Structure 1
Amino acid sequence: MTSNKPYLIRAFYDWILDNDLTPYIAVDANYPQVMVPEQYIDEGQIVLNIAPASVGAISMAGDVIEFSARFGGKVQNLYVPFEAVGAIYTRENGVGSSFSVEYPEEAEGIVEQAEAAKPEKKGKPTLSIVK
């Protein structure tokens, strides 16, 4: 059987809009074929506002969510496979649903290599007075 995830996300999206709320999705930015602005990725995840008033030409056909949105004043085209979505919820009250993100078998090694190549965080930055 095919995944029910796209159907559930589309249903939650419609339900959120029907209740005049703002739909947000949490996306695993490391998932294969995800195209999102890299400078807004935090710890491998990005949260996106997908309300019709905030995006242009949103399409949820097939296996992907495609739309354009402004980031830092520039329009960018985003491409998010449904399987990369970890949650859909409302901005106003957080009601929604979370999902597991399961990588295709051939992608698991690539993700592990990418995570290993990331530099370690060194802790909190400190300020000092320079005279």
Structure 2
Amino acid sequence: MSRSKIPFLIKGLLDWMVEEDLTPYLVVNAKRDGVQVPKAFVQDDGTITLNLSGHAIRNFAIEPDGLGFNSRFQGQPHSIWVPVGAILGLVSREASDGLWFPENQPRVADPSQVAFSDVSSETSAETEQLKDAHQDAGAVEKPRGRPNLTIVE
């Protein structure tokens, strides 16, 4: 089995972000096995975003099977471990430049189990009223005749 390319890409991206004075944010699927992050900071969707800038972390190590470092959350020290399979992306805070790793996105085992909401193709009366109001507000009468300029002294 070949090794994951993600640790190599993370290292290259981090080097680039540091060189460009960008703040690297690691987006992690905290629901994956082996992830060690403070659970109190995990979002409702199961993700956590970790600041990887030099002033925010200590003892940073990129290994073939994951990333590890020490960090503080609300003043409390935490040891962080993120397996490669839990890394969703590395992006900069300032410009959202970076990479997302679709191979690590959660998958549905059986596509037939996906529940789609029943969306009606009919528009509601309220939507029609808003659309009409928007069109009326944008209807500006164009001036008639030939354009002319006036000299102002």
TM over 0.5: same fold? Answer: yes
Tell me if 1:40 matches 2:41. Answer: yes
Residue of structure 2 in register with 1:128 after alignment: none
Give the length in aligned residue pairs: 104
CA contact (8 A) 2:35 2:86 kept: yes
Identity of aligned residues (%): 31
- Greater RCO, CA 8 A, separation 6+: 1
Residue of structure 1 in register with 2:117 after alignment: none
Alignment of 1:73-84 (within 5 A): 73-84=75-86
TM-score, normalised by the number of residues in structure 2: 0.64
Alpha-carbon distance between aligned partners in 2 of 1:9 and 1:16, rounded to the nearest angstrom: 10
Give the CA deviation at 1:6.
Answer: 1.4
In the TM superposition, structure 1's runs of 4+ consecutive aligned residues that sit over 4 Å from their partners are: none
Alpha-carbon distance between aligned partners in 1 of 2:19 and 2:32, rounded to the nearest angstrom: 30
TM-score, normalised by the number of residues in structure 1: 0.74
Deviations 1:9-39 (A, max 9, x none): 1111111111111100100001110000001
Residue of structure 2 in register with 1:23 after alignment: 24
Deviations 1:58-97 (A, max 9, x none): 1112321111111111011000012211010111111011
CA contact (8 A) 2:92 2:98 kept: yes
Unaligned runs of 5+ in 1: 109-131
Letter in 2 for 1:99: F
The counterpart of 2:88, out of the listed 86, 89, 92, is 86
Calculate the aligned-residue CA RMSD, in Å: 1.5
Alpha-carbon distance between aligned partners in 1 of 2:93 and 2:105, rounded to the nearest angstrom: 25
CA contact (8 A) 2:3 2:64 kept: no
